[in-house]
Amino acid sequence: MFEVFEELESNVRSYCRKYPVILDGALNAELYSADGEQRYIDFLAVAGSMNYGHNNPEIKGAVLDYLKQDRIINALDMYTKAKEDFLESFENLILKPKNLDYKVMCCGSTGTNAVEAALKLARKNKKRNNIFAFSGAFHGMTLGSLACTTDKVSREGAGIALNNVAFMPYCNSKIDSIGYIEEVLSDDHSGIDKPAGIILETVQAEGGINVADAEWLRSIRKICDKYDIMMIVDDIQVGNGRTGEFFSFERAGIVPDMVILSKSISGFGVPMSLLLIKPEYDIFRPAEHNGTFRGNQLAFVGGKAALEYFTKHNLPSEVKRKGAFIENFIKTEICPLDERLSYRDIGMIWGIDFSEIDSKLALECAHLAFDNGVILEVAGRGDSVLKILSPLTIEDSVLSEGLYILKNVIKKVLSDV
Ligand SMILES: Cc1ncc(COP(=O)(O)O)c(C=O)c1O
């Protein structure tokens, strides 16, 4: 059934091994196999790229209109009408109402490209090599971002030393993370160079749904101010409304020096990444971080339509409502299955942690869930966390159906232990 892929595609392919199906159709939070036989509830959302649902009609409509008019599709970073419209919408619908003053840098198509830009720009601004990242972090696969990424398998792929990054304990560490960072920075014998920037996820998604508390985020902001370090928030996976606000750091009332967006920013699942930069740090010379695909016009068109959708449909309140529904379900239907199960969450990103029972059960649940028509992945140390990440637009009935399937799957897996 999969001969074409097995014969012709590289060994590096991964998700397809967890979900052995040839997919074709996709509508909001449902996916369909190419043979039309299988329907899957999507609790993966292309790793956070489909916050607005697959083929969202309002976003698709804007993209189709654009395509019908023979307008330019790629334009490097030349001025285009589509980019002008996107930038104005982003300013008027998102940045201005939140009192945020950022320059928008259009980066290459993937998230990791914008992470690279952020690291380069921090180093250029502060004229220092070192970066602080956090245990449990995931920032991407190119060398600079990979140096800030912690999981062993990813790092082993680098083939060369990953350096110029020092890892600090994250908010969820047993160590007093803030105290430790303060000590490292204030001790002239700590042996760790002062960094140009501190890069962090406010919620470590790949790291196992580790949610930094607001006070911790504020302390990091204060440390950055005190030691003249740039605070970089990687909002690639948990931005675009995932946590209940457009940006995930809003709940802490902080303003990072740089913010990285990708995944759902194009609204439509097409590649796009942005780096938001406080104006005083916007010092790249023209072409100093170049790239062919920084001018994907379909992404600008979809992105503008997505921002309008976000505002018009008040997605933050939808996320709060559905998040409360998921919480109630997990508390009343899933946790009672075994008192050693725990969960972590914010907005519409949820993790069910099996580590107190047996880490490998999370993956068993993901496999069985797939067999029962729900696609979701595992995350965290030892892959011990089942991660629920549906489109934010998922219909209530589909959400509920997926959760009931998940409950039965977990029940079955636990009963076989
Ligand atoms: C927080 C975070 N940063 C960076 C990346 C890398 O993005 P991309 O895979 O588009 O390069 C990801 C991807 O999962 C991510 O979740």
pLDDT over 90 at 70, yes or no: yes
Q: pLDDT digit string (tens) for 174-229?
A: 999 999 999 999 999 999 999 999 999 999 999 999 999 999 999 999 999 999 99
Specify the fold of 59-312: Aspartate Aminotransferase; domain 2 (3.40.640)
CA 386 – ligand 1 centroid, Å: 18
Alpha-carbon distance values, 113 to 127, 139, 142, 294 (Å): 21, 10, 8, 10
- Please state, as a whole number, how many other Cβ atoms lie within 10 Å of the Cβ of residue 222: 14
Question: What pLDDT is attached to residue 125?
Answer: 98
Which atom of ligand 1 is least distant from the CA of 238? Answer: 1
Question: What pLDDT is attached to residue 55?
Answer: 98
Query: Does 377 contact ligand 1 (Cβ within 6 A)?
Result: no
Mean pLDDT of 407-415: 98
Asked whether 66 and 301 are in contact (CB, 8 A), the reply is: yes
Query: Does 236 contact ligand 1 (Cβ within 6 A)?
Result: yes
Residue owning tokens 């908010």: 171
> Is the CA virtual torsion 119, 122, 127, 130 positive or negative?
negative
Query: Does 110 contact ligand 1 (Cβ within 6 A)?
Result: yes
- Under DSSP, the state recorded for 384 is -
- Please state, as a whole number, how many other Cβ atoms lie within 10 Å of the Cβ of residue 3: 7
Asked whether 128 and 302 are in contact (CB, 8 A), the reply is: no
CATH class of the domain at 3-55+314-415: alpha beta
Query: Does 375 contact ligand 1 (Cβ within 6 A)?
Result: no
Which atom of ligand 1 is least distant from the CA of 204? Answer: 1
CA 293 – ligand 1 centroid, Å: 17
Convert 54-109 into a string of H (helix), E (strand) and C (coil).
ECCHHHHHHHHHHHHCCCCCECCCCCCHHHHHHHHHHHHHHHHHHCCCCEEEECCC
Q: pLDDT digit string (tens) for 229-275?
A: 999 999 999 999 999 999 999 999 999 999 999 999 999 999 999 99
Which atom of ligand 1 is least distant from the CA of 235? Answer: 1
Mean pLDDT of 1-17: 96
Q: Which tokens sit at 264?
A: 């759902």
Query: Does 185 contact ligand 1 (Cβ within 6 A)?
Result: no
Say how far apart CA 130 and CA 196 lie, in whole Å: 6
Question: What pLDDT is attached to residue 277?
Answer: 98
Residue 255's contacts (CB-CB under 8 Å, 6 or more residues apart) are 100, 221, 249, 278
Query: Does 206 contact ligand 1 (Cβ within 6 A)?
Result: yes
The runs of H, that is alpha helices, within 269-395 are 297-312, 315-329, 360-371
Fold match, 3-55+314-415 / 59-312: no
3-state helix, strand, coil in the chain (%, to 5): 45, 15, 40
Residue spans per domain, the chain: 3-55+314-415, 59-312
Say how far apart CA 107 and CA 74 lie, in whole Å: 13
Q: At what angle do helices 57-68 and 297-312 cross, to 10 degrees?
A: 150
Query: Does 344 contact ligand 1 (Cβ within 6 A)?
Result: no
Mean pLDDT of 115-123: 98
59 — pLDDT class (breaks 50, 70, 90): very high
Residue 50's contacts (CB-CB under 8 Å, 6 or more residues apart) are 42, 264, 269, 391
246: left (phi over 0), alpha (psi -120 to 50) or beta: alpha
Report the percentage of the chain scoring pLDDT > 90.
100
Asked whether 319 and 330 are in contact (CB, 8 A), the reply is: no
Phi, psi of 51 (to 5 degrees): -55, -30
The count of C-alpha atoms lying within 13 angstroms of the C-alpha of 227, restricted to the half-sphere facing its C-beta, is 23
265-278: burial string, b at 16+ Cβ within 10 Å, e else: bbbbbbbbbbbbbb
Amino acid at 108: G
* H or E stretch at 409: helix 396-415
417 — pLDDT class (breaks 50, 70, 90): confident
368 — pLDDT class (breaks 50, 70, 90): very high
Numbers of helices and strands, H then E, in the chain: 14, 17
Nearest CA to 115 out of 48, 201, 224 is that of 201
